[in-house]
Structure 1
Amino acid sequence: MSSTELPSVLATSVAPKVGAVRVAAGERLRSVGMPGITLTIRSRPPAREGLPSALYVHGLGGSSQNWSALMPLLDGLVDSESVDLPGFGDSPPPDDGDYSVTGHARAVIRYLDSADRGPVHLIGNSMGGAVTTRVAAVRPDLVRTLTLVSPALPEVLVQRSAVPTALLALPGVAGAFTRFTKDWSAEQRVRGVMALCYGDPTIVTPEAFRNAVEEMERRLALPYFWDAMARSARGIVNAYTLGGQHRLWRQAERVLAPTLLIYGGRDQLVSFRMAQRAARAFRDSRLLTLPDAGHVAMMEYPETVATAMRELLADTGELADADATKTDATKTDSTKTGTTKSAGS
């Protein structure tokens, strides 16, 4: 995917389809229509004028809501927006049915070009980590810093617990799984997802669990839900097998932006052992390890992730007042986390 294949387009705001989508206090949703895709954008009003822009990109099966715990903690530092990728959250499927990592990256780039928000602080989780790595590699002009939470970068030995997700990529599996699980309640499905994604599912509050069940019920009613899941899973598997300049590890080596890597010690989907390889691949990187976190550290330990991001912005000169990040209240609790270190710089 080259920058010449990704022209700027004019985005037009259209009436948001909020429906039953949850909007947390201080958030707002809007839909942005572009030729071939419509993206739902979740945002928080900037604390003041002139703040640098940040864009958050969720993983497979996720949505812009995955960032609702983290975004308020960065108020006053960045102008936060999170995107529902095509076919996820409240964004409808893309007209061309392209759910590949390249297709999702193209959607992110088209939005940033059309909104004229770049360069941004770009943050991605899981599949969104693969997507944002590709964006940073092919359009360095759009990225000030890159933060990756358990990025879905190719692994030779995939964890056994990640195999069922990968199997969704096989033709017919999503349909068979739908039939097999047709009697499962939304509560059962959410408990299964949380057991897979959280290092300790008991930290989820009753309110957060209810919200997740409501969102699961809404999304299961969408006619394209399983298709978007299956095709996106296939896109990840295909990205793992690409060679040459489109190989994700090759693109990681091309990323120029300062990069924060966050890995959880209890991650069942992205192996913790990939952390050191990633730290070596990204040329200007720092690594934060969270021994008790699972696959979604920004939802499990949002304060710790926010602290690491503040330090990244301060150390790279992206904060107007770096001293604001050095108070005792924002220091990382070393009893809960590993060390943050620079690598490859």
Structure 2
Amino acid sequence: MTAGGPDRPGGVFSRSFGHGPRNVLAVHCSLAHSGAWRRLAGEMAEDITLTAFDMLSHGRSPDWDGTGNYQLLNADAGLALLDRPADLIGHSFGATVALRMAMARPHLVRSLTLIEPVLFAVAKSDAPAAFAALEAASRPIEAAWAAADLALTARLFNRMWGAGEPKWPDMPEQARAAMVRAIPVVPACYPTLYDDANGTLAPGALDPVAMPVLLLHGSESPAVIGAIVSGFSRRLANARALSVPGAGHMLPVTHAAETAQLLRGFWGPA
């Protein structure tokens, strides 16, 4: 593994895993960090060299100062690491960042893999019932945030979207503190994710995303994710969607071997 400090392009920390011929850039989910790709990269160490960066307010990257658009700032940071064409992977919020990267620089993206993308505006438009269920499930998180209880907000968010293990009290204090540090960016991104404030779904906006796209979701994920995947399948010209049996939202971590197998089939030979 190799790593670069926060003086790297875009001011973010990045690291690389593996030593294979295929160049891959990966964007992690909210409240995680670049190390979340370690298991998947380990499954494919002979096939790929995977570079991952810590989004702002995550891992070893600087804190976001609240100015500018968080999604687009991270997309710019990721693009600064792309000096040649790569296969791009994003998970959850990181998938929305990866999508914006592909929209901005399609000539640098050989293929795009969106794992459990959380652009909820897709479901808001296409699947009102699934969107309403998401809103209902999120109410305890919203109440904790309104009460300015950052630790409870992070705990409830992790319970809803995390792998389920370890439980919050069993996590190392450092891991809990990292999630509390990152949690303010989640509500800050609601206009982007719920209302499509960045215009990802605007007419013609997705036209540059003509490269092959793989949409992955877990069979046990909330229904809203399946609705989003279906919506993107209809909106992207060259997309295919696959479900990982028995997996939830954290499938790149919990089902790394299955994810690796699907990626090999999608990419084909290096």
TM-score tier after normalising by the smaller chain length: 0.7 to 0.9
Task: Percent identity, please.
Answer: 24
Aligned to 2:257: 303
| 1:106-155 C-alpha deviation (Å, 9 max, x unpaired) | 1211232xxx2x21111001111111111111110121111111011222
Letter paired with 1:271: I
Aligned to 1:23: none
Conserved in 2, the CA contact under 8 Å of 1:261 and 1:275? yes
Aligned to 2:189, the other structure's residue is in SS state: helix
Which of 148, 172, 182 matches 1:213? 172
Cα distance in 1 for residues equivalent to 2:218 and 2:205: 23
Aligned to 1:176, the other structure's residue is in SS state: coil
Cα distance in 2 for residues equivalent to 1:65 and 1:164: 30
Aligned to 1:90: 60
Cα distance in 1 for residues equivalent to 2:230 and 2:216: 11
Cα distance in 1 for residues equivalent to 2:91 and 2:202: 15
Cα distance in 2 for residues equivalent to 1:151 and 1:275: 7
Q: Which of 135-144 and 248-257 deviates more?
A: 248-257
Aligned to 2:240: 286
Letter paired with 2:3: L
Counting helix residues as a fraction of each chain, which structure ranks higher? 2
Residue segments in structure 2 that go unaligned for 5+ positions in a row: none
Cα distance in 1 for residues equivalent to 2:222 and 2:28: 17
Q: Does 1:107 align with 2:77?
A: yes
Aligned to 1:197: 162
Residue segments in structure 1 that go unaligned for 5+ positions in a row: 1-26, 321-345
Which of 44, 61, 68 matches 2:17? 44
Following superposition, the deviation at residue 31 of structure 1 comes to 1.1
Q: Does 1:178 align with 2:116?
A: no
Following superposition, the deviation at residue 238 of structure 1 comes to 2.8
Which of 56, 61, 71 matches 2:31? 61
Aligned to 1:29: 3
Which of 84, 99, 122 matches 1:133? 99
Say if 1:304 and 1:238 are closer, same or farther in 2 by CA, change over 3 A.
Answer: same
Output the TM-score relative to the length of structure 2: 0.81
Cα distance in 2 for residues equivalent to 1:313 and 1:127: 23
Q: Does 1:247 align with 2:201?
A: yes
Cα distance in 1 for residues equivalent to 2:177 and 2:197: 38
Q: Which has the higher contact order (CA 8 A, sep 6+)?
A: 2
Q: Whose radius of gyration is greater, 1 or 2?
A: 1
Following superposition, the deviation at residue 58 of structure 1 comes to 1.0
Conserved in 2, the CA contact under 8 Å of 1:249 and 1:281? no
Say if 1:94 and 1:301 are closer, same or farther in 2 by CA, change over 3 A.
Answer: same
Cα distance in 2 for residues equivalent to 1:99 and 1:245: 12
Following superposition, the deviation at residue 285 of structure 1 comes to 1.3
Say if 1:91 and 1:231 are closer, same or farther in 2 by CA, change over 3 A.
Answer: same
Letter paired with 1:68: R
| 1:250-273 C-alpha deviation (Å, 9 max, x unpaired) | 544531221111012222384323
CA-based RMSD of the aligned residues comes to 3.3
Cα distance in 2 for residues equivalent to 1:276 and 1:308: 18
Between the two proteins, the alignment pairs up a number of residues equal to 261
